[in-house]
Amino acid sequence: MRGPVMKTARRGVVMAFLLGLVLTLAACSSGAGPTTAVAGDCLVEASSADDMNVVECADGEAKWSVLAVADTIDGTVCADQPDGDIYLTFEDDGKSVCLRLLGAVGDCAWTDFSGLADCEEDSGYQLAAILEDTDDEAGCPAETEQVRVYSDPSVYCWIRWPAS
C-alpha cells in the first residue's frame, strides 16, 4: 500500500509545482507593459514607445516613470500631471498612460519630446545636464535650447543634436 500512496503524493507535488509554474509564467507574460503599469512604475522601451516593459526604477535601463494610467483614450491622462512629458494611448485596451522621461545625460530625444531618439542617427535634442534639488535653470549650459523643470525638483537641460 505504501508504494501507490507515495506515487500519488509525489504526483500531487509535481502537479502543484507545474501549476505554480504555469501561473507564474502567465502572470509574467500577460502584462508587464504600459497598460498594466501603475503610477510609480518605471518602463524601458523594447522596440518602440508602444512596446515597453516594466522595470525597477533603480534599474539604470529605466527611461520612463508612469505618472498616471486612465481608462480613456481622449488624451486627458496628463491633464493633472505637471511633470508629464508624453502620453500614449492604447485603443485596443481603452487606456492611456502619462509618462515622465527619466533620461540620463547623453540621451537624445525627438524635437517634440515624444520619445527617445538614436543619438547617432536622429536629430533632436541631447540631454546635456540634469540639475538636481533645484528648480533654477541658471546652471544649464549656455547652449541649452530646451529646459524642462520637474517638481521633484530637478531641471533637465537639452541642447540641439547634432550640434549646429
Mean pLDDT by 10 residues, the chain (164 residues): 42 35 32 79 76 87 92 91 90 90 91 85 92 96 95 95 80
pLDDT at position 8 is 39
Give the E-state strand segments of 59-123 in sequence order: 64-70, 86-90, 95-101, 108-109, 116-117
Instruction: Compute the distance between CA of residue 159 and CA of residue 140 in angstroms, rounded to an integer.
Output: 10
pLDDT at position 17 is 33
pLDDT at position 111 is 87
pLDDT at position 16 is 35
pLDDT at position 51 is 76
DSSP 119-158: TTT--EEEEEEEEES---GGGS-TTEEEEEEETTTEEEEE
Burial of 47 (0-12, 13-18, 19+ CB in 10 A): exposed
pLDDT at position 125 is 94
Helix (H) or strand (E) holding 14: helix 2-29
Instruction: Compute the distance between CA of residue 158 and CA of residue 126 in angstroms, rounded to an integer.
Output: 5
**What are the cell numbers at 103?**
533620461
